[in-house]
A and B are shown apart, each in its own frame.
Chain A
Amino acid sequence: MFSFIARRLLLAIPTLFGVLVVVFLLLYIAPGDPVMEMVGERADAETIARLRAELRLDDPVPVQFAHYAGGVLTGDLGTSYITGRPITRDILERFPKTLQLATAAMLLAASLGITIGVLSARRPGSTFDRLAMAGAYLGISFPVYWVGLILILVFAVTLRWLPPSGFGRVEYLILPALALGTRSIAFLARMTRSAMLEVLGSDFVRTARAKGLRERVVLGRHALRNALIPIITVLGLDFGYYLTGSILTETIFSWPGIGRYVVNAIARRDLPAIQGSVLFLSVVFVLVNLATDLLYAKADPRVRYD
């Protein structure tokens, strides 16, 4: 087990180095000049030249890359061109908020999605099943942007139950988590339903029923457990996406997370901020994938990594 983890982490290093190189080069060839963004609409050539020199932007690309990569190896992601703040501090300030939002969305998705899926699978074709699957169909189709604005309109503006946007106590978390989680809830419900239907038709379920187990135990302990693998896959993938890309949700709900930070950085050509966050988010993605793989083994003893 531990050797598996160590191997995976070692394998991640070349991946991350590749990310570092690609991001650096992409930004280098992308149009738009960071110094022009720093000086704003009105600029003078002298100031631009001075700033380029201060930021070492006139050095040859390999030198710039070596300089940057050297910093990254020592844990220094550099300083933002635009704000002058250390990137590491910026990320550490924002990532926990994104993590909070993503976790809430996943918890919502896991609890609601799996429950709906199991209930639907219990009596396929029933009214509940039809309604749930129609709802799931809509949930998958609606863009998060639209869902978010509708949630604000209904629960914040009309009913006044919850605040429209912002960061704070738990009531601020509900709407964004719901908006972000909608697609996952819907997708998980469908996924769980089909996985359950497959398992419910198998011999061991019939055996379980035949020996007189209560339906709840049959569904929960025997059937669901065997349907978990695809569910974990969906959960893991979605969680990874939420941690790295809940940009729209964060924008609509003014949630001060890492997604908005990245978008801002891109708009302002803040190269160190873009590179730093992409690298950081790549690490997050690698870790989430690793955790997902480990969960497979936990859910299904036949999966072994030794």
Chain B
Amino acid sequence: MRRLLAALFLLVPFACRGGESAPQRRTLIDSRDTYDPRTLDPALATDVPSGRAVAYVFDGLTRFTPDARLEPALAERWDVSADGKVYTFHLRRGVRFHDGTPFAARHVVQSFHRVLDPATKSTGPWVLYPVAGARDFADRKATSIRGIEAPDDSTVRITLDQPLAIFLKLLAMPVASIVPDSVGPDFREHPVGTGPWRFVEWRHDDYLLFAKNAEYFDGAPKTDSLRARIIREPSTAVAEFEVGNVDLLYVPEAETRRWEQTDERSAMLSAAPALRLWYIGINTTRGPLKDVRVRQAINHAIDVGVILDRLVGGRGRHAAGVIPPILDGADTTRRPYAHDVDRARQLLTQAGFPNGIDIDLWHSDNESFSRVAQSIQSYLGEAGIRARLVQREAAAMRAAARNGETDMVLKDWYADYPDAENFLYPLLHTANRGIGGNVSFYSNPAFDRLVDSSRIELDSARRAELYRRADSIAFADAPMGFLFFYNELYAVQPWVRGFQVPVIFNGQRWVQAELR
């Protein structure tokens, strides 16, 4: 039915398009949020819409650029001790919260205590666990976090339990944003931060409205206001874009070709490699899947190229490991598992299953995932792997996968921060089996050692090498069906200037964007 509708949209004559002239409004309008943000309180923000909104209103000590580089934010610069454990942040002076309060070092100390305080019920305190004494405080075994201190108004010193290469990236996550002194119960609805946009209004399930913070320390946004509309249905978002009511559109997969193949539309397209991996979590502790040859057979059986081309609008790149090609540590010369049915059958026979195997493949009720799952099922079937599809609604599927009840589960992983560690560690490290994100229940001491060393390795070249080696081990062990790294595709109205498509979800704050 979607197809039919897409075809109908195609019939709309281009003559009726809004033209290239800028609309009269002075408000940027985004259409990417598909559901109401959970909260505007950074301590509770775990979903993408919340994370984006938090990035508009707040700042952290560090932040990401649209192309996912790390840059200073509220911390102007920092020194790291030789052992990599002590970070001294020199804070920006003259910054004020939207309510006029001057920003000072105590706000950093308070904000981090707040995230770790169990009474806050924060869902992302793990971001700050590396700080010395953080867990004790979170468990109410200490009254303060011993690793955070503010020697003066513009300095914050943070001591870690052990060196952690990604620490500065963790500080750019929404949960580590800096909040003011008084945070009442209504803060989640009426946030006050130091960010480029002041919060104005939140109409639930409808839109969020922000006004520019004229005193933003990094230069005020170039447009008066920003509206983040919440549009559940992709076809509706497309219609809103067609009539010029929204400035930015996340192009639905089913419409990719239509947009790419017409000149007028393709001129508006902007692609970015997302830090997102589609994969099949293969539970390495269940039945025949314990055998690495069976898992390799699964990888050889699936024609990822065709799936990418036919079902995902060509938006992605066949994965040869778990590290997206744009991140340090990715081995772009490694060849993905080739589609080779004979090889798959041969591997199965060697593993002692000449007559094939019967397994379950779980997937969610999301339309894209369902289509891909059906296709995978038929590819596996050609190689003698009889997969039974188990469709569950996303929450139920996730629970089953984390409990180790799934043979194989089709899912994706979207990075929290742009670093290979964010793929290797949660998805495949022994410490994260089950609820931590490792639904393959993969456990390989050699892999773990490399990842552990990479986490404390402060030299970026050496760290990249450790990532590469760990990724290479995982690739050979095949604890997952390596599908593809996804590419985001956006359409930007011709009248929008200065907008760069973000690689990481909170990497674009619309400060440079303007309507012309």
Chain A 215-255 interface 0/1 with B at a Cβ cutoff of 8 Å (1 = within): 00000000000000000000000000000000000011110
> Contact: A42 with B437, CB < 8 Å?
yes
Residues of A near B35 (CB, < 8 A) are: 264, 267
* Bound complex: CA A267 to CA B366 (Å): 11
Q: Are B123 and A165 in contact (CB under 8 A)?
A: no
Interface residues of B in 1-55 (CB under 8 A from A): 1, 5, 8-9, 12-13, 16, 35-36, 38-39, 44, 46-47
Q: B402 touching A36 by the CB < 8 A rule? A: yes
Query: Total interface residues on A, using CB and 8 Å?
Result: 55
Q: Is the CB of A164 within 8 A of B46?
A: no
Interchain CB contact under 8 A, B118 and A54: yes
Residue of B nearest to A84 (CB): B188
Task: Pick the contact of B121: A32, A54, A267 (CB < 8 A).
Answer: A54
How many chain B residues touch A (Cβ–Cβ < 8 Å)?
60
Question: Do B1 and A51 touch across chains, with their CB atoms under 8 A apart?
Answer: no
B residues in contact with A45, CB < 8 Å: 435-436
Q: Does A41 contact B (CB under 8 A)?
A: yes
A206 at the A/B interface (Cβ < 8 Å)?
no
The answer to whether A256 and B205 touch (CB under 8 A), given A43-B436, A82-B38, is: yes
Contacts of B204 on A, CB cut-off 8 Å? Answer: 90, 93-94, 256
Task: Judge whether B126 and A44 touch: CB under 8 Å.
Answer: yes
Chain A 137-163 near chain B by CB (<8 Å), digits 1 or 0: 000000001100110110011101001
- With contacts A54-B118, A85-B189 taken as known, whether A39 is within 8 angstroms of B46 at the C-beta atoms is yes
A47 to chain B, nearest CB (A): 6
* A256 CA to B504 CA, complexed, in Å: 28
Contacts known (A44-B126, A146-B1); A251 close to B46, Cβ less than 8 A: no
Structural contact, A149 and B400, CB atoms closer than 8 A: no
Given contact pairs A43-B435, A51-B121, A156-B239, A268 touches B135 in the complex (Cβ within 8 A): no
B-side contacts of A82, CB under 8 Å:
38
* B430 interfacial by beta-carbon distance below 8 Å: no
Residues of A within 8 A of B141 (CB): none
Q: Does B206 contact A (CB under 8 A)?
A: yes
> Is A134 at the interface (CB under 8 A from chain B)?
no
- State A253–B236 Cα separation when bound (angstroms): 7
| B331 CB–A CB distance under 8 Å | no
In the complex, A269 has a CB within 8 A of chain B: yes
* C-alpha gap A163/B242 in the complex (Å): 11
Bound-state Cα–Cα, A152 to B135, Å:
53
Instruction: Say which residue of B205, B207, B245, B436 sits within 8 Å of A42 (CB atoms).
Output: B436
Q: For chain B residues 223-237, which have a beta carbon within 8 Å of chain A?
A: 229-233, 235-236
**Complex contact A251–B245 (CB within 8 A):** no
Verify B205–A261 contact, CB threshold 8 A.
Answer: yes
B121, A158: Cβ atoms closer than 8 Å: no
Please encode chain A, from 259 to 273, with 1 for each CB lying within 8 Å of some chain B CB and 0 for all others. Answer: 011001011110000
B413 in the interface, Cβ–Cβ < 8 Å? yes
Q: In the bound complex, do residue B46 and residue A267 qualify as a contact, i.e. CB atoms below 8 Å apart?
A: no
Q: How far is the CB of A186 from chain B (nearest CB, A)?
A: 20
Chain A residue at minimal CB-CB distance from B51: A40
> Contact: A37 with B239, CB < 8 Å?
no
Question: A117 to nearest B CB, angstroms?
Answer: 30
A114 to B35, CA, bound (A): 38
Contact with A along B410-426 (1 / 0, CB 8 A): 00011010000000001
Q: Is A38 part of the contact surface with B, judged by Cβ < 8 Å?
A: yes
> In this assembly, does B399 line the interface, its C-beta being within 8 Å of a C-beta of chain A?
yes
Closest Cβ–Cβ distance, residue A89 to chain B (whole Å): 10
B residues in contact with A251, CB < 8 Å: 232-233
Q: B189 — which chain A residues lie within 8 A by C-beta? A: 85
Interface residue stretch chosen among B348-356, B388-396, B469-477: B388-396
Chain B 283-303, CB within 8 Å of chain A: the 1/0 string?
000000000000000000000
Q: Which residues of A contact B156 (CB under 8 A)?
A: none
Q: In this assembly, does B240 line the interface, its C-beta being within 8 Å of a C-beta of chain A?
A: yes
B335 contacts the other chain (CB 8 A): no
Pick from A44, A167, A257: contact of B436, CB below 8 A. A44
Contact across chains for B44 and A158 when beta carbons are under 8 A apart: no
A153 touches B9 (CB 8 A): yes
Give the CA-CA distance A45 to B245 in the complex, in Å. Answer: 44
A16-54 vs B, CB cutoff 8 Å, 1 = contact: the mask equals: 000000000000001111001111111111111011001
B199-221 Cβ-contact flags toward A at 8 Å (1 or 0): 00001111100000000000000
**Closest residue of B by beta carbon distance from A45:** B435
CA–CA, A43 and B229, complex, Å: 29
Q: Is the CB of B125 within 8 A of A83?
A: no
Cβ of B363 < 8 Å from any Cβ of A?
Answer: no
Q: A94-B205, A264-B36 are in contact. Are A150 and B8 (CB under 8 A)?
A: yes
**A273 smallest CB distance to B (angstroms):** 11
Known: A36-B395, A41-B414. A254 touches B435 (CB 8 A): no
B133, chain A: closest CB distance, angstroms = 15
Judged by a CB distance under 8 angstroms, whether B461 is at the interface is: no
CB neighbors of A among B102-141 (8 A): 118, 121-126, 129, 135, 138-139
Q: What residues of B have a CB within 8 angstroms of the CB of A267 in the complex?
A: 35, 393-395
Q: Is the CB of B229 within 8 A of A254?
A: yes
**A83 vs B44: C-alpha distance when bound (angstroms):** 8
Contacts of B118 in A (CB 8 A): 50, 54
Residues in B with CB closer than 8 Å to A253 are 236
Q: Could you tell me if B229 and A166 are in contact, using CB atoms closer than 8 angstroms?
A: yes
Q: Closest approach, in angstroms, between the C-beta of B365 and any C-beta of chain A?
A: 10
Q: How far is the CA of A93 from the CA of B205 in the complex (A)?
A: 11
Inter-chain CA distance A146–B395, complex, in Å, is: 28
- Chain A residues within an 8 Å CB radius of B188: 83-85
- From 393 to 410 in chain B, residues with beta carbon under 8 angstroms from any chain A beta carbon are 393-396, 398-400, 402
Shortest distance from the beta carbon of B162 to any chain A beta carbon, whole Å: 17
The verdict on A32 contacting B395 (CB below 8 Å), with A48-B435, A165-B240, A256-B205 known, is yes
Please, which residue of chain A has its CB at the minimum distance from the CB of B123? A39
What residues on A are CB-neighbors of B399 within 8 Å? Answer: 31-33, 36
Known: A83-B188, A260-B232, A268-B395. 15 other contacts (CB 8 A): A32-B398, A33-B395, A36-B395, A39-B123, A43-B123, A43-B436, A45-B436, A50-B138, A83-B39, A84-B188, A156-B243, A165-B231, A252-B235, A252-B236, A256-B203
Partner-A contacts on B (CB < 8 A) = 1, 5, 8-9, 12-13, 16, 35-36, 38-39, 44, 46-47, 118, 121-126, 129, 135, 138-139, 188-189, 203-207, 229-233, 235-236, 239-240, 242-243, 245, 392-396, 398-400, 402, 413-414, 416, 426, 435-437
A-B contact pairs, 24 of them (CB 8 A): A32-B393, A32-B396, A37-B395, A40-B123, A44-B129, A45-B435, A46-B138, A83-B188, A149-B235, A152-B239, A153-B5, A156-B243, A158-B13, A166-B229, A167-B206, A252-B235, A254-B205, A254-B206, A254-B229, A254-B230, A256-B230, A267-B35, A267-B393, A268-B395
Listed from nearest, the 10 A-B pairs whose CB atoms lie closest are A32-B395, A256-B205, A40-B46, A31-B396, A164-B239, A256-B206, A32-B396, A39-B123, A251-B232, A44-B126
